[in-house]
Copies of this chain bind each other. A is one copy, B any other.
Amino acid sequence: MTIPATNMNIKLPEPTLHRLPWYLAYVKLVQAQGIEYISSTQISKAINVDASQIAKDLSFVNISGKTRVGYEVDSLVYVLEQFLGFTSQHRAIVYGVGRLGAALMHDSGLAQYGLEIVAGFDIRQLPQNNINGIPVYNITEFAQKRAELNAHIGILTVPVEKAQEATDNMVENGIRAIWNFTPYRLRVPENIVIQNTSIYAHLAVMFNRLGNVE
């Protein structure tokens, strides 16, 4: 297996970053079947994305296919996992240990994709001081514990009316990326990374489309 050089520091277009995990998921299936090479046309047929788009997206990750045989499957899996950051652990904290926050702390599957939740914080005194073995602290300890834990990702799962205040506190105290599960549009300084996972938006689309189907 040839291990190509990767460069996590290229700033990729967001749509490309959204598609790369699809390719990775499919190529891992193919790898499990013992297949050695795969072309962008084959990936395209399986997952319904234009082959030229796939080739273009993969050109960002420093891997090149061979004429007629395509990409080496093992290399492609390796490079995509490295490139997407799934093979190294990124330390994160959960801000707001309500139902959704606690649910995420129970989802140990996230670690397989490079996200290690090292603590939870809440404004209330919870009955237990840990969830799934992960400590839960009072929000008053945030600045100190965040620094001790050296975590730079904040998972935002507070009620919507606390979303901006929570964000400001995180940003002032060293959080550099926020994974926002609230339906609130956060305002942050330019150098702070935001990813919105819009659960409610997805529900709204499903309900609306179902209304049309029914």
- What residues make up the interface of A, taking CB atoms closer than 8 Å to B? 8-9, 11-12, 14, 17-22, 24-26, 28-29, 32, 47-49, 84-86, 90, 98-100, 102-104, 106-110, 113-115, 152-153, 160-161, 176-177, 179, 182-185, 187, 191, 193, 195, 197-214
The 10 A-B residue pairs with the shortest CB-CB distance in the complex, in nearest-first order? A85-B207, A103-B103, A47-B185, A25-B183, A193-B209, A18-B201, A195-B202, A84-B204, A21-B200, A8-B211
**Which B residues lie within 8 Å of A49 (CB)?**
185
- Find out whether the CB atom of B26 lies under 8 angstroms from the CB atom of A185: yes
**Which B residues lie within 8 Å of A193 (CB)?**
205-206, 209-210, 213
Q: Which residue of B lies closest to A193 (CB)?
A: B209
Provided the pairs A25-B184, A104-B103 are in contact, do residues A84 and B198 lie with their beta carbons within 8 angstroms? no
- Find out whether the CB atom of B25 lies under 8 angstroms from the CB atom of A208: no
Q: Which residue of B lies closest to A198 (CB)?
A: B18
**Which B residues lie within 8 Å of A179 (CB)?**
202-203, 206
Rounded to whole Å, the gap between the CB of A66 and the closest CB of chain B is 25
Rounded to whole Å, the gap between the CB of A124 and the closest CB of chain B is 16
Q: Which of B191, B198, B212 contacts A21 (CB 8 A)?
A: B198
- Find out whether the CB atom of B29 lies under 8 angstroms from the CB atom of A160: yes
